[in-house]
Structure 1
Amino acid sequence: MGLSSLSRTSEPKVFNSLERRKFTFYGGLEAFYYARFGFFKVAYAHDMFNVHNGDTAHISWNYGLAVKQWVFDLALRTDWKSAKVIQYYYGVRQNENNYWSQQYQAHSGWNKGMELTTRYILNGQWNILMAYRYTSLSDEITDSPLVNQDNSQSYFVGVAYRF
């Protein structure tokens, strides 16, 4: 029986208390290529504080369109996470559950998604912001017994003031 079918069964996933996963800061390089049809971004980063010693990469295409007082920004993106990053954040530690820690061993994976950000310009200083981001999580993440969805969605509504 493969890992994918094992982690998605109706078997109850019982865990001891889960340990806290620490956040870290990443340092790296990013490059932009600007064209008439938008811009491309490529980035690579490494864990700077040795929390998991993992790496991440990012590739996206962004396109902006202004219509009167509205500004629309669309981004299509993919993010790579190394096995060390995925194992640290989505892996099960032995003291959390011995069975699942032996069954799930992470590999690197690619998340894919899109983002739409909309701004309504009220005047020279004030903007209303609205954003939506959808990310399809890689199989390497969704195979984790800690994860019960195959995507992540976030919304944002706010205002911005420019000094």
Structure 2
Amino acid sequence: MNRVTWYIISLILFFSPLLSAEENRGDVRERLEPKGFIYGFGLGINQELYSGYDRRVVPLPILGYRGERLNVLGPFISYDVVQNSGFKFTLQAAPRFQGFDSSDSDIFIGMQERDFSFDAGLGLKYQRDDWNIAVSSMFDVLNKSDGYELKTTVGRAFKYGPIFIEPTLSVSYLNDKNVNYYYGVADFEARSFRPAYQASSAVNTTIGVSLATPIFFGGFTRLSVDYTFNDSSITDSPLVDRDNNLSLRLFYSHFF
């Protein structure tokens, strides 16, 4: 069974138990995502797969807006073109915080720099009760990798007093251009300690949980933790020395 077939089967398995649920407006999720103009800050810490490169820290000042259709959270932007019976068809854009240069680790010496990029694409979201399903197709619009990512996420929101908790499960398909750009080694980059490597497409699985609350400093705080199981196409790369990785994101926002 190839990766694309496996991905499609995963979509069917994710959708089937939820489409039969009794319809509800998802009151917990509405309270989880209040609307208005916001400012604040974000911090992302990602455990890197690359050998000798322990973690990536990305600070993000936030100035944005959360509305009925338009959502802006710093560089993360989405606009709901269609909203109907729990379905949302969305245009979206987001930075891709990946890449490296030769100063990040000895394993990269003699390699061309791999740049951050910016993705844009389409999304389909479905909400019923406090369940949420999101399917997205994102493309590299800066032509760094010329790659794309297909991703499905399922989550459910729970409320415990002033604390909102949302566990999620995601499956993502990265095409061969995306994977090879960030994890491949070209022939001219090969060394005795770093053989040439042509990466193929990958299917990664991520489990995560986010905690959100409005109780701190009159604003809204969200902490998200994800653990990703990476495909062998990535972990077989001579640039990589671990199979799985952990990422953490902290956002604090306040309404004007």
Give TM-score, length-normalised by structure 1.
0.81
**Paired residue type of 2:161:** K
In structure 2, runs of 5+ residues without a counterpart are 1-105
Please list the CA deviations of residues 44-92 of structure 1 after superposition, one character each: whole Å capped at 9, or x if unmatched.
1222122221111100101111111111011110111000000000001
Structure 1: gaps spanning 5 or more residues: 1-12
How big is the shift at 1:158?
5.3
Q: Which residue of 2 aligns with 1:54?
A: 147
Match of 1:126 in 2: 219
- Please say which of residues 91-100 and 60-69 is displaced more in the overlay: 91-100
SS of 1:25's partner is: strand
CA RMSD of aligned residues (A): 2.2
Report if the CA contact (8 A) 2:186-2:198 is conserved.
no
Give 1:24-103 correspondences, 5 Å limit.
Answer: 24-97=117-190, 100-101=195-196
C-alpha separation in 2, matches of 1:88 and 1:162: 39
The letter for the 2-side match of 1:116 is V
Cα-to-partner distance string for 1:81-130 (whole Å, 9 max, x where unaligned): 000000000001233215611xx221111110111111232179323432
Q: Cα offset for 1:37?
A: 4.8
- Give the TM-score taking structure 2 as reference length: 0.53
Identity %: 25
* Aligned 8 A contact 1:133 1:153 in 2: yes
Residues 21 and 72 of structure 1, relative CA distance in 2, 3 Å threshold:
same
Structure 1 residue matching 2:116: 3-state secondary structure: coil
